[in-house]
Amino acid sequence: MNVSKLQSFQSSVRRPPDFDRFWDQTIAATDAVPVNASFEHVPMRSTGEVDVFEVHYDSYEGLRIAAWYCAPKGKGPFPGMLVVPGYVSEPMIPKSLAAQGYAALSAAPRGKLRSNSVFNPGYPGLLMHNITDRDTYGYRGFYMDAMRAFDVLQARPEVDRSRIGVQGSSQGGALTLLVSALRADRVNAASAGAPYLCSTMDAATMTHSYPYQEINDYLRLHPADQPKLKATWDYYDIHNFVPRIRCPIIVNIGLNDDVCPPATGFAVFREIGSKDKKLYPYEDCAHDAGTGAGHAGVVREFMAAKLEPGK
């Protein structure tokens, strides 16, 4: 393994001149939709220490999105934690985070269970949904669902707005970076593992593992569409969002990751705008990116230091 080669990788992503305008318009369209958040207490899933709620809220283009919310018993204020999901995995019920003292929201963006009655491209499927059209590409609404989940969490009266974190791995790592960029003035700490959707078109040439293999499968049948795919992805690649990030942030990657190539992790980390950032590369780890080698403890300690649960 040539780590210096991974570190020196240069992304082919380009930032479109109207990138900010495109996303400002998308965010404005999302903000114009009333949130209409509902929280239904679930006694069967609650305990003597943690209350569990089934959550729904409206998002981009009016789609109704689901989430789970868990909070410690009591009035708070509690630090908040947004948990964002992987590509295939379904959103967890974050009771363990609530037991640590966080008011935690686990988002289910469109296409996930309980959020798929209108939009359901499947897995595989999401990565390629209308990929040749930046305006109707599936990730446009999906990204907004994650951003709005943060807003729903922040609006809870028991959540301390000065202590809110975001965490996730793989696609969740990408969404962590996205939310930390789009809500840069509100996110107070972030942890992104094995970030997906970074240097996406490059990544598809480095691996034949899914989900990136979806791109290769498509281009095998439609090779002439490659310029269209790249033009779309220059608007959606996480690489172009992360310079906005300002919060303390940690990123972990596995140097043997065949799902999210580690070179793309090094490249996106360099672009992160925060002055308080740290990269954890794990030499003998794949897509778990060190979780089994103790990185879960690193995340717990980092978030506890920045957000002070139990304060």
Contacts of 86 (CB under 8 A, 6+ apart): 168, 169, 170, 171, 172, 196
Confidence of residue 302 (pLDDT cuts 50, 70, 90): very high
User: Which amino acid is present at 178?
Assistant: L
Determine the pLDDT at residue 244: 98
Mean pLDDT of all residues in 279-294: 95
The predicted structure's pLDDT at residue 310: 86
Mean pLDDT of 140-165: 98
Please give the Cα distance from 211 to 208 (Å, whole number). 9
CA 279/CA 270 separation, integer angstroms: 10
Q: Is residue 1 predicted with pLDDT exceeding 70? A: no
Q: Check whether 139 has a pLDDT greater than 70.
A: yes
As a whole number of angstroms, the distance between CA 300 and CA 260 comes to 23
Mean pLDDT throughout 230-240?
Answer: 98
CATH architecture of 14-305: 3-Layer(aba) Sandwich (3.40)
Residue 5: the pLDDT is: 87
Residues 67/92, Cβ–Cβ less than 8 Å: no
Average pLDDT, the chain: 96
**pLDDT of residue 27 exceeding 80:** yes
Q: What is the pLDDT of residue 113?
A: 87
Q: What is the pLDDT of residue 4?
A: 82
d(CA 115, CA 43): 22
Distance of CA 105 to CAs 1, 13, 90, 200, 219, Å?
38, 32, 13, 28, 37
Give me 130's structure tokens. Answer: 């209308």
Name the residue with higher pLDDT: 311 or 22: 22
pLDDT at 311: 80
pLDDT attached to residue 307: 98
Residue range 223-227: average pLDDT? 97
Question: 183-208 pLDDT, tens per residue?
Answer: 999 999 999 999 999 999 999 999 99
pLDDT digits (tens, 9 = 90+) for 76-130: 999 999 999 999 888 999 999 999 999 999 999 999 988 989 999 998 999 999 9
Residue 260 above 80 pLDDT? yes
